[in-house]
Amino acid sequence: MILMVSVQDLYEAKQALQGGADIVDVKNLQEALVGSAHPNVVKQIRDEVPSAHHASVTLGVVPDQIGTVSMAVYAAGCLDATSVKVGFMVSDYNLALETLIASKEALQGTNTKLIGSLFADNLLYDGGIDPDLMVKLAKESDCDGFLIDTLVKDGRNLFDFIPEDRLKEIVLEGKELGMSTALSGHLKMTDIDELSRVNPDIVGVRGAVCQKGDRDSRVHWESVAEFKRQLDLRASGDVPVYSSVEQSAISNSSNNGWIVIDGTGKTCAGIIAALSDQIKVDESSFVEVIIPDVLNTYDLIVWSEKNKHEIVTQRKDSQGTIRMLIKP
């Protein structure tokens, strides 16, 4: 999991980066239901963000106006945003689909990724799009990924609207399709264990990394650093998030005769996609997967069981990476 921090200006972006954020997500909290930052703010931040990090743009809840939205998406591409998030609250599903398709077309020729977004609390509103449709919507519109967020500001968060098990199903469905998966929505430090079990590619926060935990105050680098540290402790396995997980061990015997997929530097979605592609062309060879992140092993276990593949062995090597041997 990597950390995305919502920022409103260059000062907050620098605080987020100093604390170790992987993505700064530029938005405007002063606009109703979260809106877009001014293009000059986006450009200023984008120019300051190192190439090793990402600067994304949030359009917030977009209107039912395909041309207007696609023009805003095009602007994000011209600003060289890493990604642009297009969110829907109350809308017709088909209109949301058409809007995302037009947005994808608007990004042709740019490096900007399109992220579709629904809100976990959409069903509180008359005509709200069911967040259970997130993967379907993202797939049919050819989005590069999706974000599930929340809108309410009454103390409830993501897990109050969608249970952990269902979120894990949604995230795994997205990963199987090769999409980037992101979760946000008033997440706090106390939610990190649940988040780690769901294991999205990206965790988005703001209030949890602001002074005094108040999202209306300023992002503070020390709070960012602590949130990032807690995520990393769970990714490394130093802080377990499952009460009991069977860990197989094998000796360092010869591993001649099987395919090796190195997942170093890949997201979980990338690892699963590589595995799926390999098994499609060769269903007889064993596949050894090198997994740099403990949390991703749980996703691979679930994926293997779902697709009736057998996990033969699992071990941690001298470098601390996990090696899993899978029989299709």
List the catalytic residues.
Answer: 27, 85
Phi, psi of 143, rounded to the nearest 5 degrees: -65, 155
Q: What is the Cα–Cα distance from 188 to 28, expressed in whole angstroms?
A: 21
Q: What is the Cα–Cα distance from 169 to 167, expressed in whole angstroms?
A: 5
Q: What is the Cα–Cα distance from 61 to 53, expressed in whole angstroms?
A: 25
Nearest to 123, CA basis, from 90, 100, 148: 90
Q: Tokens 């907050």 sit at which residue? A: 12
Q: What is the Cα–Cα distance from 266 to 321, expressed in whole angstroms?
A: 13
Other Cβ atoms less than 10 A from the Cβ of 156: the count is 15
Do 59 and 52 meet the contact criterion of CB atoms below 8 Å apart?
no
Do 97 and 57 meet the contact criterion of CB atoms below 8 Å apart?
no
Q: Show the DSSP H helices in the chain as ranges.
A: 10-18, 39-48, 66-78, 93-106, 134-140, 158-161, 164-176, 192-198, 221-236, 268-281, 294-306
Write the CB contacts of 157 (distance below 8 Å, at least 6 apart in sequence): 150, 185, 186, 187, 188, 191
**Residue 288, beta-bridge partner list:** 260, 325
Do 328 and 309 meet the contact criterion of CB atoms below 8 Å apart?
yes
Phi, psi of 303, rounded to the nearest 5 degrees: -60, -45
* Encoded tokens for 261: 């997929």
DSSP 249: -
Q: What is the Cα–Cα distance from 230 to 232, expressed in whole angstroms?
A: 5
